[in-house]
Chains A and B, each alone.
Chain A
Amino acid sequence: MASASPLGRVLRSSTTTFTFGSLDNPDLPAFGALVAAEAGPTWVYGLVYEVLIQDDPFVRQVVAAAGELTAERVEDMRQRRQVPVEITALTIAYRQDDRVYQRLPPRPPAALQPVWACDEATTAQVLAEVTFFRTVLNAAHCPSEELLAAALRRAAACKLPEQQQAYLVNAGRELARLLASDLPRLDAILRRLAS
């Protein structure tokens, strides 16, 4: 993993998703970003699809007081939160013995495992196949069309500029094949890839 410090630690996980907690900071992973956590002998990869910032008593008090808030105060409040920002990723692949498999991992990451952001090379490698399209499209609990479009755009961004369009077109054709019988959905994703 590229960065020196993890994004956060796992709060809870299941075979299909894992949620990790993090401080509210500008480096929070973006929607559609690829993150990774270790689970025994494997690395589990997920696409970030939900960032949840919950309230806590202090925030409620400050908001209820309705007084003037200085920028320093707000920043201080954000840094010293009692509850972390919860970020949930959809599991799409895992790595074992240095090979990437686009399927669900044997077991999810355990609680408190550090979660790392993936660099461009890893993103490109993990998203190289198209098998995960189906995993994303079948995920009922997440905005799968938005997520797939975001993930593909990020994957494209990992390519050389002259390869990006071709990558997206090929991905689009694969989607056209998968969603041949669901044209509104296909069109929704392709439009999100288009501009």
Chain B
Amino acid sequence: MDDFAHPDAYLASLRAEADHADIGARLGRVVAGSLSSGLEVRLDHDRRLEDLAVGRYVVMKAGGRLFFGMITDIALDSTHPAFEKTPPDLDNDFLRQVYLGTSTFGRLHVSPLLELDEHNRIPRPVKTIPGHYTPVTTATPEEVAYVFGTEGLRRDADGRTVHYFHIGRPLEMEDVKITLSLERLVARSSAVFGKSGTGKTFLSRLLLAGIIQSDVAVNLIFDMHNEYGWAGSSEGATRTVKGLKQLFPGRVTIFTLDPESSRRRQSHPDATVTIPADRIEPEDLEMLAGVLDLSEAQVGAMYVMRRRLGPGWLGNFMNDDWVDAYGGNDTGTGSSGLRALAEDLDLHQSTLAALRRKLDRYWRYEFITTRSDEDSVSRILEYLQAGRSVVLEFGRYGNDLGAYLLVANFLTRRIHQRYVTMKERAFGAAGEEPRPLVVTIEEAHKFLDPQIARHTIFGTIARELRKYNVTLLIVDQRPSGIDPEVMSQVGTRITLALDNEDDIRAVFMGISGGQALREVLARLDSKEQALILGHAVPMPVVVQTRPYDTEFYRQMGYADEEELEARFQQNQALMRGRQRNRLT
């Protein structure tokens, strides 16, 4: 009761207890388990369940090895079922002291993640488990830091130089930096998952900044909601945060589909992307079948027209005058031109009419031009090959899924095609390797839906890994909507909070022992906490993500005007000093 009389003192004492949080202290002993299903740990009688949390690391030392594990479940247990039905008299102090922790006790489920040989100290995946009654302690910050290593350039276990990027800190450890290997991140397709409002965009921007700064790959970012290029919105006090171009003015180029919107937002676009109508091929539209509700016959009709009418098929097909005049009919008689076209192509007139109706909305997009001399693909590619990342802002088209799918698919297909050519030429020693490219797509399940993933370029890229130096960064809120085959090829999965059971299950698809981490994922805070697992980290980790703030800007090399001014003054003073020295 006294505790409540002095709430501050009480809180302080609680906090002291929490700070103590018994880092490095013994929790209990391994009592059962297996490599596949994880370890059961019986808690020592003086440990309180309330001090623990899923997602925390534990360490077990046995047989000259250090095993790292993560607490993935916490349970109550007792030596006898009768303790549930007839609880002992806990009003008695002595009985409580004896029973609690001995007859009734806490049990942890620990997933073994990693082992370190005490001699060579190289982290490896676990191939065995610690024996019976191995003491289990909470991992110390030093141990966690050792596994993840320091930020910056470092040699990995294979002797290659690798960039390690600071992504956040582990739960309850203030001073430990969790790093991930950027080379490994971009080596395979990666994904950032999380329900809306959990900070997917922030985290993705953080990763992209890391990739750009370290120059491990160039990026092509399909920026659906205009969050990456010049400035992004924030729920914090500042309302806006700096986009990639502000942080890396020389290394990021903004393209826009909607120059008006870009101008209004003052996002300083470098170029406008247009899509020449006569370059659009049936393959580009086929993946829109779902959005446009195209039937198979209509899709087939597009291929027939492409074959029979040549490159200008779409422009002609959508041009009323051309259709009306088809077959030598007089203009103005309406549908007769279409009938002639259908007869010529051996198609139903109704199919063509419906197709025209459905494509009409797309045809009115301003970014589709009839001029064929503008080649946005080549321009983007030039920038990419010069090492400049490209952010493509969609402006008002961001809310139009069809436009997003069409443009992303159109550009990526062609860029990928060029990459394949370049890579093959490099393979034949006739050219330079193309720079590794990471294509960032939002709402990725729309591209990677099991129905269409086989047909879209994104499905192909995800499946062929880095064969052609192109990988994906998938940003999505519905991992369950993504083709399992694609999902299994995603190397690194960074997952913010998810609610839906199917989505949680999908995240762990194709990861051995992943199911054990489900509870960890289901218990993430709804903001700024992420579970990272896969290729880029030595073991799965729950991080409090690094803030995207002025400190981060500075570390990325950004200097604001005041700072630049100060530096200028400093340099000036220095120069003057030198001059004076020389004069005297």
Contact = CB atoms under 8 A, between A and B. Distances in A.
B80 A169 contact: no
B95 A191 contact: yes
14 contacts: A169-B97, A169-B98, A172-B97, A172-B102, A173-B98, A173-B102, A176-B102, A180-B79, A180-B103, A183-B80, A186-B103, A190-B95, A191-B92, A191-B95
A168 interface: yes
Interface string A166-195: 001100110111001101001100110111
Interface of A: 165, 168-169, 172-173, 175-177, 180-181, 183, 186-187, 190-191, 193-195
Nearest to B45: A173
Contacts of A168: 94
B99 interface: yes
Chain A interface main SS type = helix
Ranked nearest first, the 9 interchain pairs of A and B with the lowest CB-CB distance are A172-B98, A180-B79, A194-B94, A173-B102, A176-B102, A176-B103, A169-B97, A183-B82, A194-B92
A176 B82 CA distance: 13
Contacts of A187: 88
A177 B103 CA distance: 7
Interface of B: 45, 79-80, 82-83, 86, 88-89, 92-95, 97-99, 101-103
Contact of A176 (B86, B94, B98): B98
Contact of A180 (B45, B80, B93): B80
Given A187-B88, A195-B94, 5 more contacts: A169-B98, A173-B102, A180-B80, A181-B79, A190-B94
Contacts of A190: 94-95, 98-99
Contact of B94 (A177, A181, A186, A193): A193
Given A177-B102, A180-B103, A172 B94 contact: yes
Nearest to B92: A194
Contacts of A195: 92, 94
Most chain A CB within 10 A, of B89, B97, B101, B103, is at B103
A172 B45 CA distance: 13
Nearest to A194: B94
A180 B99 CA distance: 11
Contact of B80 (A172, A181, A191, A193): A181
A176 B79 contact: yes
A133 to B, nearest CB: 14
Contacts of A165: 94
Contacts of B83: 183
Nearest to B93: A194
A1 B92 CA distance: 38
A96 to B, nearest CB: 32
A103 B82 CA distance: 32
Contacts of A181: 79-80
Contacts of B101: 173
A58 B93 CA distance: 51
